[in-house]
């Protein structure tokens, strides 16, 4: 016999272990003494094995059997939670343990090889480990496969349920052409902004005062969160009262931390707003990587590129900078933030060229899993695509195919989430603007209407609704990349003062 209370008790115990692992992970990345890493990995692997053995353990197995036959004994919330538990369980229990162990071993070897190949700047030193990661992932696909059309679809669905090659081929083609056309117009008719003052010194304390003030106004709750320093910034949701964000600082590039913190706060606000009734269950998390990224990018790009937002914030920014920017007019300052330039490195890319970096990775991953491309050819393909789409060519593999950590961790299918998040964010903006004027809200002292809208449409549901349904319900239609292209035109044609376009598109 099994009842809902018993299932919830087991899920809570699993969640408590997960919370502990989360805090340990946060500690590793923010403050743990360097020498403690071996001791810590002992604690971690002990707790992780407890966590994992419970997650696919006999209690959960019993609950799945029982409630599959007696679904009506579950409450409304219980049903939602149960569906997710069942889904996660089926993904995990099917995979043979030896295969998972082999993948764990392969990815840790690959991490080391990837680091070494970065030093030699030579893909050949990473090729063997990458080939192994690909091979093992290909062996895993049949265990994960449900009704997906291709192998790469299976990988996409790990991060974005409901996403497919068929959809992405179409939307990415549209986005690619749209961006290349915008870039062409800017090159022919645009006026480059002056960015010479962006590297002026702004101390960490000055930047911190500004950006913590901004994210509090945006709705990040510091009584249920905190901001710490790290090397690779992230947000980690521990529980309803604890969603932490991190950043790194550069005193001669305030944009890095200012936009970085606004980005992570978007992830944090999502986690802080999930309905409390889902606490201690696997529903208490973002529903997909793409939706999570839509929230951080809505903050960072949609709000962070808004002229009214900066017009309102600039006096506060100048005050925090204590005189450093007093000679810079608002318009010059605002324009400098939106300079665009083709670059080789994804994480340094601006908000116009960024999706092209993702599309290149998507096309290559698809070639690996659906077209059986020769791994040795990948650097050549990579460089050709950069030349073709962005007009720049890496001079070595470190500037090219070796720049991202994802493939060394076998995270194939992850990259598209970044671009999906951006497209969702632009589509959400379009829907939101039917109900309220974002310019007016951002010019005011009260940003709550935006956060409340997002909470109602996205945040509160946690993982109880799939991305496709959330976007459909919030915006009234399926993913439509045209909103992103229109949005980019509006921002960049105005910043680059392409007059004929900026007025023509105003009413759209």
Please list, in sequence order, all residues whose beta carbon lies within 8 angstroms of the beta carbon of residue 131, skipping any fewer than 6 positions away: 375
Contact 63, 10 (CB under 8 A): yes
Please list, in sequence order, all residues whose beta carbon lies within 8 angstroms of the beta carbon of residue 427, skipping any fewer than 6 positions away: 471, 475, 477, 479, 480, 483, 484
Can you tell me whether residue 164 is helix, strand or coil? coil
CB of 99 or CB of 347, closer to Zn ion: 347
Least distance CB 421 / Zn ion (angstroms): 7
CB of 190 or CB of 416, closer to Zn ion: 416
Biggest CA–CA distance in the chain, Å, is: 74
Contact 256, 250 (CB under 8 A): yes
User: Of 272-280, 296-304, 391-399, 473-481, which part binds Zn ion (CB under 5 A)?
Assistant: 296-304
Least distance CB 263 / Zn ion (angstroms): 6
Q: How far is CA 353 from CA 81, 182, 345, in A?
A: 39, 10, 11
Q: Per-residue string for binding with Zn ion, 404-443, x by CB under 5 A?
A: ----------------------------------------
Q: Which two tokens stand for residue 144?
A: 């994960």
CB of 114 or CB of 270, closer to Zn ion: 270
Least distance CB 80 / Zn ion (angstroms): 26
Least distance CB 414 / Zn ion (angstroms): 12
CB of 295 or CB of 313, closer to Zn ion: 295
Quickly list DSSP for 43-112. Answer: HHHHHHHHHHHHHTSHHHHHHHHHHHH-GGGS-HHHHHHHHHHHHHHHHHHSS-HHHHHHHHHHHHHHHH
How many CB atoms are closer than 10 A to CB 8? 18
CB of 296 or CB of 383, closer to Zn ion: 296
C-alpha 475/C-alpha 298 separation (Å) is 15
User: Of 65-73, 90-98, 149-157, 289-297, which part binds Zn ion (CB under 5 A)?
Assistant: 289-297
User: Of 123-131, 254-262, 291-299, 394-402, which part binds Zn ion (CB under 5 A)?
Assistant: 291-299
Catalytic residue among 10, 160, 264, 300: 264
The residue nearest Zn ion at its CB is: 296
CB of 296 or CB of 403, closer to Zn ion: 296
User: Of 11-19, 75-83, 288-296, 352-360, which part binds Zn ion (CB under 5 A)?
Assistant: 288-296
User: Of 167-175, 290-298, 340-348, 366-374, which part binds Zn ion (CB under 5 A)?
Assistant: 290-298
Residue 300 catalytic?
Answer: no
Binding residue for Zn ion, selected from 272, 287, 296, 340, defined by CB under 5 A: 296
Can you tell me whether residue 186 is helix, strand or coil? helix
C-alpha 382/C-alpha 319 separation (Å) is 45
How many CB atoms are closer than 10 A to CB 51? 17
Quickly list DSSP for 198-230. Answer: GGS---HHHHHHHHHHHHHHHT--GGG--EEE-
Pairing of strands 227-229, 242-247: parallel
Least distance CB 300 / Zn ion (angstroms): 8
Least distance CB 474 / Zn ion (angstroms): 19
Least distance CB 26 / Zn ion (angstroms): 16
CB of 107 or CB of 296, closer to Zn ion: 296
Q: Does residue number 288 form part of the binding site for Zn ion (CB under 5 A)?
A: no
CB of 271 or CB of 397, closer to Zn ion: 271
CB of 123 or CB of 249, closer to Zn ion: 249
Give CA torsion, residues 24, 29, 32, 37, to 10 deg. Answer: 80
Q: What angle do CA 332, 335, 337 make, to 5 degrees?
A: 115
Residue 480's φ and ψ, nearest 5 degrees, are -135, 105
Can you tell me whether residue 296 is helix, strand or coil? helix
Helix axes 354-370, 124-144, angle to 10 degrees: 70
Can you tell me whether residue 236 is helix, strand or coil? strand
Least distance CB 228 / Zn ion (angstroms): 16
CB of 125 or CB of 300, closer to Zn ion: 300
Contact 246, 227 (CB under 8 A): yes
User: In the sheet that 235-239 helps form, which strands lie side by side, from edge to edge?
Assistant: 227-229, 242-247, 235-239
CA atoms within 13 A on the CB side of 1: 2
Number of residues that bind Zn ion (CB under 5 A): 1
Least distance CB 418 / Zn ion (angstroms): 8
Active-site positions read 264
Residue numbers at the binding site for Zn ion (CB under 5 A): 296
């Amino acid at each position: 016999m099994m009842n809902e209370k018993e299932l919830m008790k087991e899920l809570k115990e699993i969640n408590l272990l997960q919370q502990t692992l989360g805090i340990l992970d946060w500690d590793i990345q923010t403050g743990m003494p360097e020498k403690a890493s071996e001791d810590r990995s002992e604690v971690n692997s002990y707790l992780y094995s407890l966590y994992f053995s419970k997650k696919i353990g006999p209690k959960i197995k019993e609950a799945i059997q029982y409630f599959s036959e007696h679904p009506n004994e579950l409450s409304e919330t219980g049903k939602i939670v149960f569906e997710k538990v069942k889904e996660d369980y089926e993904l995990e229990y099917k995979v043979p343990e030896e295969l998972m162990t082999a993948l764990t071993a392969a990815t840790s070897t690959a991490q080391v090889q990837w680091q070494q190949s970065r030093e030699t700047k030579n893909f050949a030193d990473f090729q063997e480990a990458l080939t192994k990661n690909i091979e093992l992932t290909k062996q895993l696909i049949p265990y994960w496969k449900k009704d997906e059309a291709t192998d790469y679809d299976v990988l996409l669905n790990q991060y974005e349920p409901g996403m497919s090659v068929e959809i992405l081929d179409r939307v990415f083609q549209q986005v690619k052409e749209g961006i290349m056309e915008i870039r062409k117009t800017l090159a022919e008719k645009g006026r480059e902004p002056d960015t010479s003052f962006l590297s002026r010194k702004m101390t960490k304390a000055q930047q911190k005062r500004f950006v913590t003030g901004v994210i509090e106004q945006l709705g990040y709750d510091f009584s249920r969160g905190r901001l710490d320093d790290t090397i690779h910034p992230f947000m980690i949701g521990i529980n309803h009262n604890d969603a932490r964000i991190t950043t790194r600082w550069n005193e001669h590039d305030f944009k890095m931390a200012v936009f970085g913190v606004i980005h992570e706060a978007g992830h944090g606000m999502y986690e802080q707003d999930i309905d409390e009734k889902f606490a201690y269950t696997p529903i208490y998390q973002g529903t997909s990587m793409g939706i999570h990224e839509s929230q951080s990018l809505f903050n960072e790009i949609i709000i962070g590129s808004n002229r009214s937002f900066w017009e309102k914030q600039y006096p506060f920014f100048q005050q925090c900078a204590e005189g450093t920017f007093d000679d810079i007019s608002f318009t010059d300052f605002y324009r400098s933030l939106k300079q665009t330039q083709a670059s080789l490195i994804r994480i340094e890319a601006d908000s116009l060229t960024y999706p092209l970096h993702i599309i290149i990775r998507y096309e290559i991953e698809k070639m690996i899993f659906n077209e059986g491309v020769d791994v040795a050819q990948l650097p050549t393909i990579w460089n050709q695509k950069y030349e073709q789409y962005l007009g720049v060519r890496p001079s070595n593999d470190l500037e090219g195919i070796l720049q991202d950590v994802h493939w060394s961790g076998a995270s194939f299918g992850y990259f598209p989430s970044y671009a999906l998040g951006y497209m969702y964010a632009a589509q959400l903006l379009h829907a939101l603007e039917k109900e309220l004027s974002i310019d007016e809200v951002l010019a005011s002292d009260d940003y709550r209407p935006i956060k409340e809208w997002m909470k109602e449409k996205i945040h509160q549901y946690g993982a109880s609704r799939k991305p496709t349904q959330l976007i459909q319900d919030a915006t009234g239609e399926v993913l439509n990349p045209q909103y992103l292209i229109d949005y980019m035109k509006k921002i960049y044609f105005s910043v680059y003062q392409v007059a004929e376009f900026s007025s023509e598109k105003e009413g759209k």
